[in-house]
Amino acid sequence: MKLKAVFLGIGFLIVFMISSCTPQANFPVLKGPYLGQNPPGKTPEIFAPGIISTPAHEYSFTVSPDGSEMFFTRHIGEYSHIYYTKIENGRWTEPRVAPFSGKFADYDQCFAPDGNSIYFVSDRPRPGTPFIGDIWCTTRTVNGWSAPKNIGSPVNTDQNEACPSITKDGTLYFHAVYPDGIGSSDIYASKYLDGTFSKPVNLGSAVNSKHNDSNAFIAPDESYIIFGSRRPGGFGNGDLYISFRDKYGEWIEAIHMGDRVNSEHFEYCPSVSLDGKFLFFTRRDSSRNRKGDIYWMDAGIIEELRSELNRKMNSPSPSEYVIKTYESGFEKYHKKIGLEVSKNWAWPFEGFTEIYSDPNFDPETVLSCFKDNEMVGFVSLRLMGEGPGILINEGVAAYLDIPRVISGFEDAADLLMKKIIQTLKNKGVKLIRTRVSTMRKNSIELAKRWGFKPHEDYPLGYKIYYTYDLDKGKLDYPTNDLQSFDRDYDLEDCSLGVSTYFRMPKERAKNWILGFESREDLISHYVIRENGKLAGYCVALSNPHNEDIIATYYIEAANEDYMKQLIVRTVNDCIERNKKLYLIDIIGHLLKYEKLVKSLGFDNAATRGIFELKLD
């Protein structure tokens, strides 16, 4: 075993020496901070694709305080090694194996806040121990990085210790499997006192769980800690969580970092650049043979989560809320809350009137939450039974609209979910479906927290919203096949299409279309016929709450040319009416036209999906 490791180590050393002598003939000239990459926003992006993140498996990223050096781990074959790049002569060098790595399995490196030390994990042997992961340290010298030293006990044991992270005062945070652990892997802290590390202390149940908690990054001032966990309630195989310290210096119960960071994949190995600007982490897609890439995003999400947590801690407790079933007059408050939650809310207020005035309307299917006699949120649903044309026909079912709650009262959303689910159980409902969208802040996270799973046929992304900034100007494309909607000639065929698309009775579809015709904010209402048969249909109206925003309420086309004609004419009509923004949603079978929509200058605005929950 040891002889094999030695020969493999020599092989890697030879490769390293050859690559170290190879000029950067084919490596691009990269200048500026962070390899000259464009800074990311609030959505994670792959960092330096083709340079840092490659077809190999990369993870664990750290950058020096002055931003001139970057180290990361790359796994090729059976071994992981630490790579680095730095600025020389004003440009970034091609990544290569670090001078202190390449012989053994080395990984999970991190800079100390002063930039003069790097801590990392290695399976290189130490006297009297087997090949096992220990934490080592290398120090910057005038001649480069020193020979690594094992930091010794009481941190390193005969178990694996990994993912070191260092504070300004030298306290070491890491994860390990110790006998006093809470779960299968826990996070510990060891203070640096009198030139040595003290006995590690478990961070306790506010951070650690009964499951696997690991890969921690500690803020240099110890004000927060970000770590990976496989506890229940996450989105994928492992998610990132964050814990802040309270005013007494105690860790607050860790919270999930939400869908802006986490995904259905595996997020781990977080780090924050020492200038505090960017959050880095690894995302591993299990469907790609365990391959991982390094992602980065604006680190402002940390303070956003801190502020959100503070609001929740200072918001009313659930016991101070009052839940009421629908009463006449509540709809005007529902409209007010809906507008505040989503400024571009497209659902017409008249829809509430239609639902609430239905003779079969059940007041228990709309719950409103009050605090000090003021409505702060509501949730609504529709009960459905078995039968043809019903979206849900798997027994008694319900279609739920995710709770809408005004800022500062986020806890009310969970209370409303709890109450409405219990109501549905009492009514014998076996299945709940709900629409979630990135346009509705936290709707996806809330649905997942309550156990909803993506629908197999309508996952997130089955419907995509695109917007066109009308200041870009008119589009140039002939629209000779378009005809204005003719009530006497087109109503029958169009209502059949709308009825099928929205799964509503044909008579209701007719009334819906005629309702469009009578509205003053109707922008376009066109049909295309081919050999007498309906081959295209489009209706666009103003958003009822913001007349400068135009939305396509229905669009259908037999081919790409017809779709392009409908979109172009509607865009140009909007401009002639001095509107500001045009929104179109591409759904299901229309996704084949997504490339066309992009080519016309539309921007991706949001995605939507259907999640479902089966009740016991």
pLDDT of residue 342: 64
The verdict on whether omega for the bond into residue 154 sits within 30 degrees of 0, i.e. cis, is yes
Whole-number Å distance between alpha carbons of 409 and 107: 43
Q: Regarding predicted confidence, which is higher, 517 or 149? A: 149
pLDDT of residue 546: 76
The helix (H) or strand (E) run that includes residue 87 is strand 79-88
What CATH number was assigned to the domain covering residues 318-451? 3.40.630.30
The helix (H) or strand (E) run that includes residue 291 is strand 291-298
- Mean per-residue pLDDT, 384-401: 51
pLDDT of residue 3: 33
> How many CB atoms are located within 10 Å of the residue 357 CB?
9
Q: Which residues pair with 280 in a beta bridge?
A: 271, 296
Q: Are 537 and 529 in contact (CB under 8 A)?
A: no
Q: Where are the domains of the chain?
A: 2-28+45-314, 318-451, 467-609
The CA-to-CA distance between both ends of the chain, in Å, stands at 53
pLDDT of residue 455: 85
Does the CA dihedral 313-315-320-322 come out positive or negative?
Answer: negative
- Of these ranges, 132-136, 158-162, 419-423, 592-596, the one predicted with the greatest mean pLDDT is 592-596
- Mean per-residue pLDDT, 543-566: 89
Lowest pLDDT segment from 80-94, 268-282, 337-351: 337-351
Q: Are 106 and 13 in contact (CB under 8 A)?
A: no
| CB burial readout 130-147, b (16+ within 10 A) else e | eebbbbbbbebeeeebee
pLDDT tens-digit readout, 297-342: 999 999 999 988 887 777 666 668 899 998 888 888 887 887 777 6
Give residues with Cβ within 8 angstroms of 441, minimum separation 6.
Answer: 341
Lowest pLDDT segment from 211-220, 246-255, 285-294, 454-463: 285-294
Q: Are 65 and 274 in contact (CB under 8 A)?
A: yes
Per-residue tokens: 468: 């066109």
pLDDT of residue 335: 79
Q: Is the pLDDT of residue 345 over 60?
A: no
Does the CA dihedral 286-287-288-294 come out positive or negative?
Answer: negative
Q: Is the pLDDT of residue 1 over 50?
A: no
Whole-number Å distance between alpha carbons of 278 and 38: 12
Intrachain domains 2-28+45-314 and 467-609 with the same fold? no
Q: Regarding predicted confidence, which is higher, 420 or 388? A: 420
Q: Is the pLDDT of residue 97 over 90?
A: yes
The confidence band for 485, taking pLDDT boundaries of 50, 70 and 90, is very high
Q: What is the SS3 string spanning 4-56? A: HHHHHHHHHHHHHHHHHHCCCCCCCCCCCHHHHCCCCCCCCEECCECCCECCC
pLDDT tens-digit readout, 402-432: 888 888 888 899 999 999 988 888 888 888 8
Whole-number Å distance between alpha carbons of 592 and 373: 49
Residue 285 backbone class (left: φ over 0; alpha: ψ -120 to 50; beta: rest): beta
Of 3.40.630.30, 3.40.50.300, 3.30.390.30, 3.30.2320.30, the CATH number of 467-609 is: 3.40.630.30
Domain 2-28+45-314 has CATH 3.40.1280.10: no
